[in-house]
Amino acid sequence: MFPVLLPADRVLLTAASLLWTRLFCSSLSVPDIPHIATYFGTKTRYEDAYPHLLQDVYSVNTSVLRPPATERCSPVHLTAVIRHGSRYPTAKNIRRIQRLSELVRTGASRGSAGSWLQELQSRWVMWYTEDMDGQLVMKGRDDLRQLAKRLSVLFPSLLSEENVRRRRITFLTSSKHRCVSSVEAFQEGLLLRGGGARGGDSEVEYSHQVDDELMRFFDRCRGYVEGVENNLTALQEVEKFKHGEEMEGVRRRMMERLSLHHEHLTPDLVEAAFFLCSYELSIKSLHSPWCFLFDDHDAKVLEYKSDLKHYWKRSHGHVINGLSSCPLFHHIFRNLDKAGRPRRSTEASPEPASVLVGHAETLLPLLSLLGLHKDQTPPTADNYHLQHGTKLRLLLTDDSAVGGA
C-alpha cells in the first residue's frame, strides 16, 4: 500500500493534480479579488486557495511536500494526473449566460431597474460566444506552465528539459481541446525551466498521445452511464437542494437586488451569475460586477449546491463513481510497480515520469476510489448547516494527494 499524505501544492480546482512518487533508498501584482473568491469550488484559482502564489507563482510549500534527503533516497519515477487549466465556459453555460444577459437587458429597458441592475447594464457587456466552448484560456496555459516548473524544482532529475526533449516522459491526454492545450503548456513549462521554449514557440515539437479510454473512462463505463449519468434519481439530493429553502433565499435576494420578476430568475440563472464571477476572475483577473450580487452566505449556499452535485455524480455518493476509474487506477499502479521492479545494471532505467491530463471528472472518481476525503455523514439536501469544513470541501478545493513509497 502507498501511504497517502496531505497535498502540498494545490493543483486544481482550475487545474488539479494527483501525484505519486516511487522513491527508493540506496512578483505578481495582486488584482482586486472578490470577497467570495474562496467559494468557487473546482473553479477556484490556485492563488486564491494558496495566497503565497500571489507573491511568487513558482514557490513551493516545502513544509508540506519535501522530497526525501538525496543521501537516503532517490526518486526514480513520478506519475501525475492533472486536470486541465482554466477555461472558457462550456457552450451549455454560455447559453445560460446569454439568457441571463437578456434578462438584465430587458429589465433595464422597462425603466424599473434598480441601482444594481443599472450598474450591471453600464459596467458589463456580454462577450462570451458559443464557439469558445470550454477552450483553454491564457491563464490556464500559465497555470500549467507554472505547475510544471514547480514540480520540476521538486523533482529535477525526473522532469528535466533533457527528458522532455529526448521524449523519455510519457504525456497522455483526453481528446478535449482544453486538455491537449494543457499538456502542451505543461511541456512548455518544463522547457522554460531550462531557458528553452516560450509559449506558442513554433519550433517546439509537442509529444503526447490521446487516450480517452483512460482519461474519459466515465464515458465508457456502462455501469456508471446507466446507474448515474442517465439515472434521474441518482442526483435527487441535488434537485431537492436546488429547489429548497436555502437556494430559494439566494434567488429571492438576487431578484430583489435586480428588481426582477420572481418567475424570470430561475435557480440555473442564479448559478450562472455566480459562475460569471468566477469565470471573469480566472479568465481576466477581473472583479466582475456580478460578484457584488452575492454575500458570503449566498456564496456558501451556491458552493454547497455545486459540491452536492460533484459528490453524488462523481465522488463518494455512489460506489460506481469510484469504480468507474479502475482502468486509470490499474494503469497508474502498473507503471509504479514496473518502475519499482529490481533490475540488473545492464537493464535500461525506468521511464522517469508519466503525465496524464484530464478533467475534474477524471480526478474525483479516482480520488474517491482511493478513499480520500470521505466523511462519515454524506452531504444531503437537508444537512447543509452541518457540512461546513468537511472533508468534501477539501476534496473539491484541493483535488490532489501525494503518496510515496
- Contact between 131 and 177 under an 8 Å Cβ cutoff? The reply is no
Per the structure block, which three cell numbers stand in for 16? 488539479
Residue with cell 464571477: 277
Report CA 201 to chain centroid distance, whole Å: 26
Amino acid at 260: L
**Three-class secondary structure of residue 83 per DSSP:** strand
Q: How many CB atoms lie within 10 A of CB 125?
A: 7
Biggest distance spanned by C-alpha atoms of the chain: 82
- The DSSP-derived string for 354-392 is EEEEE-HHHHHHHHHHTTTT--SS---SS-GGG-TT-HH
Contacting residues for 333 by C-beta, under 8 A, at least 6 apart: none
Which of 35, 52, 77, 84 does the annotation list as catalytic? 84
Distance CA 33, CA 42 (A): 17
Report CA 361 to chain centroid distance, whole Å: 9
Distance CA 148, CA 144 (A): 6
Q: Is 359 a catalytic residue?
A: no
Strand partners, 19: 80, 402
Catalogue the active-site residues: 84
